[in-house]
């Protein structure tokens, strides 16, 4: 594994255990074979071969069989088929980017919508467009830390 401390474990539909660590690595464990697949940060632009941060807080699948990773700096999306990552960072100049840098939790609802709780508020992902609608304390939330 890529780090000593495990922060989150997620079991996908194929039974693979995905492990997020405090070192920013994403590890896949196949319990049937005992094999580990390890992904470490390798920065090459927006599409990278590893998560862009040093702490993965949460893991959630989308309807396209990708894994969304909530990190302490951004959102990383792991394409399991191509084994690549795409990163989304807060952009204060883009009202359709997600709010906040630290992503605390991820939740997929019954309709397949992905909700993202962050240090800046609650964010709803528009899957096909990869844009976000954000909700803050000014919209009625108790505070901006979700």
Q: CA–CA distance from 5 to each of 2, 21, 37, 49, 111 (Å)?
A: 9, 6, 17, 21, 33
pLDDT at 1: 59
Q: Which tokens go with 112? A: 């397949």
Q: Among residues 131, 132, 15, 112, which one has the least CA distance to residue 64?
A: 112
CATH architecture of structural domain 6-139? 7 Propeller (2.130)
Question: pLDDT-derived band of residue 43, with 50, 70 and 90 as boundaries?
Answer: very low
Dihedral of the CA atoms 13, 16, 17, 22 (nearest 10)?
-110
Contact call for residues 104 and 118 (beta carbons, < 8 A):
yes
The model's pLDDT over 52-92, given as tens digits with 9 standing for 90+, comes to 556 889 999 988 889 999 988 788 889 999 988 888 888 88
Q: Which tokens go with 129? A: 């467009």
pTM, entire model: 0.85
The model's pLDDT over 10-39, given as tens digits with 9 standing for 90+, comes to 999 999 999 998 877 899 999 999 999 988
The model's pLDDT over 114-134, given as tens digits with 9 standing for 90+, comes to 999 998 899 998 877 778 899
Question: pLDDT-derived band of residue 44, with 50, 70 and 90 as boundaries?
Answer: very low
Q: Which residues of 32-46 are buried (b: 16+ CB within 10 A; e: fewer)?
A: eeeeeeebebeeeee
């Amino acid at each position: 594994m890529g780090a000593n401390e495990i922060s989150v474990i997620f079991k996908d539909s194929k039974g693979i255990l995905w492990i997020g660590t405090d070192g920013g690595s994403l590890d896949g464990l196949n319990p049937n074979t005992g094999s580990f697949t390890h992904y470490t940060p390798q920065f090459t632009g927006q599409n990278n071969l590893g998560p862009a941060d040093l702490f993965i807080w949460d893991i959630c699948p989308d309807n396209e069989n990708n894994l969304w990773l909530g990190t302490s700096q951004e959102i990383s999306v792991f394409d399991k088929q191509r084994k690549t990552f795409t990163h989304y960072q807060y952009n204060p100049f883009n009202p359709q980017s997600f709010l906040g840098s630290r992503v605390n939790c991820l939740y997929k609802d019954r309709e397949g919508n992905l909700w993202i709780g962050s240090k800046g508020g609650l964010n709803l992902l528009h899957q096909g467009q990869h844009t976000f609608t954000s909700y803050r304390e000014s919209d009625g939330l108790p505070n901006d830390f979700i």
